[in-house]
Amino acid sequence: MATPDKPSEKPDDEVTESFDSMADGSDPGIFQEFIWFVKYNKKWWLTPILVVFLLLVVLAFLTNSPAAPFIYTLF
């Protein structure tokens, strides 16, 4: 048995705000969430992998777009 991982620290807003008032805030967005995730789970080593992965996804989208001929000359 292992002890569940503890996050390195709580999000700033979580420290001061109640759950109910936090619920009135706006959604963080996927990039903000990734940053929180990496920070609070101490998974810094994932950052370059996620960046490369993101670039591959962008590339996959671009190669199917009108920009494809320009991408081709670059790669």
| Residues at the interface with other proteins (CB under 8 A) | 1-4, 19-20, 22-27, 30, 33-34, 37, 41, 43, 46, 49-50, 53, 57
Name the minimum Å distance from CB 25 to other proteins. 5
Kind and range of the H or E run holding 9: none
Q: With respect to other proteins, which residue has the nearer C-beta, 65 or 73?
A: 65
- Widest Cα–Cα separation across the chain: 54
Neighbouring C-beta atoms of residue 9, cutoff 10 Å: 11
| Residue among 57 and 68 whose Cβ is closer to other proteins | 57
